[in-house]
């Protein structure tokens, strides 16, 4: 045998030997592990899973190592660190947290610290008391997960984790391993099921407060989704692929016609040649509007909007809102702005009038709404000058520009060519292929070049009804940009230059027309049963999410007030509500506790319960059983006192004694006992 071959053989032997050693070692070691700790480790791993993506590797790796260490200890394969090493580890963990976040406070850093310290606590978990502490902290970890994600899926997952933690708690309080492991699981499920009504009661009745429970400073820096606070070529079309729901709407009355489903968000007034933005910088610094001149006609549209968290301050409303949600304000450009970034699902009621006149009386600030960078779009300026010269007035000019888009070979596409130099001129004269932001930008520039006040509006257009849920859903892919121009005597008028492109010049890409929600074009959507089933499943899932958002996440003070009104408790304030709630809870728990104490424990055995009922019936006839009186002895006494009852007494006593004390009680004995007790009328 060659040297290499021998080495190979040796390695094989070693591998086999190690493998079988591990198998044998683990086989008996698993049996040593305290089930409570095993449940706890499993629950801990699963509860940390959602945090993994949020934590830096500097903390994830140690956390996983510590968990593995603990498991190895439980399997008697490793020792726990000494006190000195533990202190060192705590110091390192603190340093790693500080190094990653520069703080140990706040949502991200706080959770990271909690996670790593909890894993370190495993290194000194010795007595049942320590296990109980870790179990309590694990429940807290579950809460922290909801600081980041309150979706239905996460809720279901965390319910699973809570079941596991509770199982660990049950196993901890019932030491010994004679039970099958699922006995504790079943016990935990029963406990949680019993706690569910209480939790529901607390959820519904516990006084709600406005806004988030605590202020989370980093939230503004958190990943935001959806629209951004500025618009440049390409940043709305990137949303075209995003099927995520931006918000859901329930209309009180009929749906507004498709042409009026413009959900306004931001007005962009400043153009730098490429990018549209708002010169008032951050939205929350914009001054609230004063003396808004809005006249409305026609019928109002009332609706409830359930907004997915997007970490921004703006809210969405159908043109034009006349009411304000709580904790929000209206900017001079008619943007709805929340006081805090939307970090969790929010629900608000709105009233809008599709027929409106906005600031018809007073001409807007020409410097603000006519601003153009000096060097921007020279060719567009020339075009504007020519068209303006041909126009009778501003309204005519708007029509002429729209006619230009309609008649010239302008194409609507989600994959527009890249525009290097001057995006407006490049789009208008060279490529002529663009997404809504190209049209809105070019149109606004043409308006401003001719002296017509204009602003770019961003928001969403359209949406679709969920046929399974009677609500309307608006997706990120419905993001849109359009223009508002100010016309003498009519005020701000919405103009959507994209809408004038004839369908023939709309490019449908591989995904169908999903990316495009121009009114009337939905018919282009693909067909086929698989797609239909997929769509339907999507609707069903969204419907579920909608109810989750509406009734669980979006259950706020308003919803609570409505519900309390319906229950006839509308007059209660928060204190009154809390008082009622805790009085009721205390009363119920007090009665339960009294019953438990009086009986010296819960009597759950149905056999004992049936016999107790039998004794209670006799007790009412003055034939009470002494607490220490055996059933047979009691039976003899009864037969002496009431010979007429003898057959029934003998039957009940025999069944009871057999069911309670015999090795193999009769199979239908319990039913017979219960029936006999029911029929027993002394």
Q: How many CB atoms lie within 10 A of CB 289?
A: 15
- Helix or strand (DSSP H, E) at 648: helix 646-661
Min separation Cβ 610 and another protein, Å? 13
Task: Please say which residue, 337 or 659, places its beta carbon nearer to another protein.
Answer: 659
Min separation Cβ 592 and another protein, Å? 20
Cβ density class 232-249: b for 16+ within 10 Å, e for less: bbebbbebbebeebbbbb
Nearest CA among 529, 505, 528, 531 for reference residue 516: 505
State the DSSP code for 550: I
Token pair for residue 593? 């506790």
Using the structure block, give the residue that is written with the tokens 């039957």: 651
Task: Please say which residue, 566 or 602, places its beta carbon nearer to another protein.
Answer: 602
Directed axis angle between helix 57-74 and helix 107-121, to 10°? 20
Task: Please say which residue, 353 or 634, places its beta carbon nearer to another protein.
Answer: 634
Min separation Cβ 677 and another protein, Å? 17
Active site residue 436: yes
Token pair for residue 517? 């929600």
Applying CB under 8 A, among 421, 600, 622, 667 the residue interacting with another protein is 600
Applying CB under 8 A, among 605, 616, 620, 650 the residue interacting with another protein is 605
Q: Annotated catalytic residue: which of 319, 333, 422, 436?
A: 436
Q: Are 390 and 285 in contact (CB under 8 A)?
A: no
Active site residue 393: no
3-state secondary structure 403-452: HHHHHCCCEECCCCCCCCCCHHHHHHHHHCEECHHHHHHHHHHHHHHCCC
Judged by CB under 8 A, the chain residues 627 through 666 that form the site for another protein are 627-633, 657-658, 660-663
Task: Please say which residue, 307 or 631, places its beta carbon nearer to another protein.
Answer: 631
Min separation Cβ 603 and another protein, Å? 9
CA distances from 428 to 379, 445, 452 (A): 9, 11, 19
Using the structure block, give the residue that is written with the tokens 């970034």: 341
Told to check if 180 binds another protein by CB under 8 A, we report no
Min separation Cβ 21 and another protein, Å? 41
Told to check if 65 binds another protein by CB under 8 A, we report no
Active site residue 45: no
Task: Please say which residue, 31 or 664, places its beta carbon nearer to another protein.
Answer: 664
Which string of x and - marks every residue 549-588 that binds another protein (by CB under 8 A)?
A: ----------------------------------------
Q: How many residues bind another protein, per CB under 8 A?
A: 17
Min separation Cβ 626 and another protein, Å? 8
Q: Annotated catalytic residue: which of 184, 425, 496, 514?
A: 496
Residues whose CB falls within 8 Å of the CB of residue 352, separated by 6 or more in sequence, listed in order? 300, 301, 303, 317, 318, 319, 320, 321, 322
Q: Annotated catalytic residue: which of 51, 310, 438, 480?
A: 480
Judged by CB under 8 A, the chain residues 231 through 250 that form the site for another protein are none
Min separation Cβ 629 and another protein, Å? 7
3-state helix, strand, coil in the chain (%, to 5): 55, 15, 35
State the DSSP code for 260: G
List active site positions: 436, 480, 496
Where does this chain bind another protein (CB under 8 A)?
600-601, 605, 608, 627-633, 657-658, 660-663
């Amino acid at each position: 045998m060659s040297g290499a071959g021998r080495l190979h053989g040796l390695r094989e032997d070693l591998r086999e030997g190690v493998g079988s050693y591990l198998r044998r070692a683990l086989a008996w070691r698993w049996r040593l592990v305290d089930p409570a700790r095993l449940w706890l480790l499993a629950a801990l791993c699963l509860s940390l899973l959602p945090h993994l993506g949020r934590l830096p590797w500097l903390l994830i790796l140690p956390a996983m190592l510590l968990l593995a260490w603990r498991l190895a200890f439980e399997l008697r394969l490793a020792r726990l660190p000494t006190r000195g090493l533990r202190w060192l580890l705590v110091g390192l963990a603190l340093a790693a947290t500080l190094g990653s976040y520069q703080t140990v406070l706040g949502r991200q850093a706080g959770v990271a610290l909690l996670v790593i310290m909890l894993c370190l606590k495993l290194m000194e978990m010795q007595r049942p008391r320590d296990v109980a502490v870790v179990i309590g902290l694990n429940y807290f970890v579950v809460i922290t997960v909801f600081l980041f994600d309150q979706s239905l899926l996460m809720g279901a997952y965390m319910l699973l984790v809570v079941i596991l933690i509770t199982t660990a708690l049950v196993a901890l309080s019932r030491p010994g391993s004679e039970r099958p492991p699922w006995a504790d699981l079943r016990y935990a499920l029963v406990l949680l099921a019993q706690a569910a009504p209480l939790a529901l009661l607390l959820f519904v009745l516990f006084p709600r407060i406005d806004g988030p429970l605590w202020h989370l400073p980093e939230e503004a820096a958190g990943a935001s989704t959806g629209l951004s606070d500025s618009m440049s070529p390409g940043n709305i079309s990137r949303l075209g692929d995003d099927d995520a729901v931006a918000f859901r709407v329930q209309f009180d009355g009929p749906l507004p016609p498709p042409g009026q489903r413009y959900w306004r968000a931001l007005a962009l007034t400043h153009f730098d040649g490429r990018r549209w933005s708002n010169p008032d910088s951050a939205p929350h610094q914009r001054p609230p509007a004063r003396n808004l001149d809005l006249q409305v006609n026609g019928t109002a549209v009332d609706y409830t909007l359930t907004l997915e968290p997007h970490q921004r301050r703006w809210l969405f409303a159908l043109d034009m809102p006349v009411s304000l949600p709580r904790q929000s304000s209206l900017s001079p450009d008619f943007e709805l702005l929340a006081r805090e970034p939307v970090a969790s699902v929010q629900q608000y009621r709105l009233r809008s009038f599709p027929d409106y006149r906005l600031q018809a009386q007073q001409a807007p600030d020409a410097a603000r709404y006519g601003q153009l960078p000096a060097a921007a779009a020279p060719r567009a300026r020339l075009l504007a000058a020519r068209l303006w010269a041909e126009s009778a007035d501003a309204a005519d000019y708007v029509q002429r520009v729209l006619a230009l888009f309609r008649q010239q070979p302008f194409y609507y596409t989600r994959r527009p060519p890249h525009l290097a130099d001057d995006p407006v001129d490049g789009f208008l004269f060279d490529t002529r292929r663009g997404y809504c932001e190209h049209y809105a930008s070019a149109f606004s520039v043409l308006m401003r070049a001719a002296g017509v006040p204009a602003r770019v509006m961003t928001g969403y257009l359209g949406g679709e009804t969920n046929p399974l849920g009677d609500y309307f859903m608006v997706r990120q892919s419905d993001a849109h940009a359009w223009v508002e121009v100010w016309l003498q005597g009519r005020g701000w008028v919405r103009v959507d230059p994209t809408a004038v492109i004839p369908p023939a010049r709309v490019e449908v890409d591989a995904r169908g027309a999903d990316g495009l929600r121009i009114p009337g074009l939905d018919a282009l959507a693909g067909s086929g049963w698989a797609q239909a089933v997929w769509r339907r499943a999507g609707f069903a899932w969204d419907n579920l999410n909608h109810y989750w958002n509406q009734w669980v996440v979006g259950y706020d003070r308003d919803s609570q007030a409505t519900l309390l009104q319906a229950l006839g408790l509308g007059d209660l304030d928060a204190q009154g509500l809390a008082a009622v709630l805790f009085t009721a809870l205390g009363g119920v728990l007090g009665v339960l506790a009294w019953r438990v104490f009086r009986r010296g424990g819960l009597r759950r055995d149905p056999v004992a319960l049936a016999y107790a009922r039998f004794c209670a019936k006799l007790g009412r006839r003055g034939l009470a059983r002494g607490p220490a009186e055996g059933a047979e002895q009691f039976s003899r006494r009864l037969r002496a006192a009431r010979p007429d009852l003898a057959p029934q007494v003998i039957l009940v006593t025999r069944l009871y004694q057999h069911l309670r004390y015999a090795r193999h009680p009769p199979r239908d004995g319990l039913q017979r006992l219960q029936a006999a007790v029911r029929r027993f009328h002394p």
